[in-house]
Amino acid sequence: MSIDKFLTILIVDDNPVNLMLLKAMLTKAGYHVFMAKNGSEARTMVAKCVPDLILLDIMMPGEDGFEAMRRLRENPKTVAIPIIFLSALDDSETKMEGFKLGAVDYITKPFQMPEVLARVKLHLKLSIATNSLIAAQAQKLKQIESAQQSMLVSPDEIPEANFAVWYNSLLEAGGDIYDVFRISKDIFGYFVGDVSGHDIAASFVTASVKALLKQNCQAVYEPCESMMMLNKVLKEISDGKYMTACYARLNRKKKCVILVNAGHPPALYVPVDNKAALIELEGDIIGMFDDVLFDSKEIQVQSGDRFFLFTDGLIERAEEEQVWTNGLQGLLEASDLIRDCPISESAERLKDLIMGDIVPEDDVVVLGFEV
């Protein structure tokens, strides 16, 4: 929400009559209102003062509402602003395009003032509730003191997820974390993260992440949304700590995997009948910045396909001055040697092929799962 004591609303419309009518009504209702005549002007204003909600006309000269919406969603500082479209167009195709871009609601012109006011109130309340939920989660997680090791799931606990893991903590309070969890009957989540540091504070963050994954990786959230919620809470509680992460959501019924990367090494994809590939995606680290963006990729899969998520300790070599980006080719080569081994043995086998007799210099997680 804005730092001003009033909730702020930006109205974007090329019709001056509409601007003045909406401004008068919303100002009377207690909101602080500012106005723009097109998308470009609106984005300039938003850069100076981020509103709590935007009423955005679709049909405008120059930069229309759809284009303005796209650009606002590409900016980490404006990606979460609730936007209600205003338009004289009432066809379902236009409405669906608006919702696809991320609009929270759609009001058809000529609009009725009571309806506008009611919808504005509703979406501001929802936004306030979401922010309150984030704050409440952060407060609860500050009280977490559970031991890290006791929170790590084993393949025997959730056999339907069909996964294997090899985990090594450099110190008792490790900074690497993994989790596997059921989202619904046919949907499973697989997460690997690397928290900065190897101390008690890092261990606290990993414990917090475990709880947050269960709270926010639900079927109603897209994987990118789940990671954004994770970022908002960790930013509040991590005290300067940050993490990289890779999150995969497998829908066994639809035979698809959605991958999200947060500044982490790429996932290794080993199709049952094709060459292995590294899925490289852009993404901000988690817990450092208020506003972040994550790329995601949806992959159609078939039975037998495998994915491996890992932390950089698997392929980084401090003595050899090898960073993880230089060790990726070895993963592709090793993937062909583990195609025929059972999934239950694949994570450790991959670790052995990459590390051999090398003593780990960092925390290491290798998590593999099979469709």
- Same CATH fold, 150-370 and 8-141? no
CA dist., res. 179 & res. 216, Å (int): 13
Q: Which fold is adopted by the domain 8-141?
A: Rossmann fold (3.40.50)
* % the chain with pLDDT above 70: 85
72 and 84 Cβ atoms separated by less than 8 Å:
no
pLDDT digits (tens, 9 = 90+) for 13-65: 999 999 999 999 999 988 999 999 998 999 999 988 889 999 999 888 888 88
Parallel, antiparallel, or unpaired: how do β-strands 8-12 and 32-36 relate?
parallel
More confident residue, 298 or 92: 298
Domain extents for the chain?
Answer: 8-141, 150-370
Mention every residue, 6+ apart, whose C-beta is less than 8 A from residue 244.
193, 194, 262, 263, 264, 265, 285, 286, 312
What homologous superfamily does CATH list for 150-370?
PPM-type phosphatase domain (3.60.40.10)
Q: Which residues contact 216 (CB under 8 A, 6 or more apart)?
A: 226, 229, 230
* Two structure tokens written together for 217: 């990786």
When pLDDT is cut at 50, 70 and 90, the band that residue 147 belongs to is very low
Q: In terms of pLDDT, which residue wins out, 67 or 317?
A: 67
Tell me the mean pLDDT in the region 277-296: 91
pLDDT digit string, tens, across residues 68-105: 989 998 888 888 899 999 888 777 888 888 888 888 88
- With a cut of 60, say whether residue 2 has pLDDT above it: no
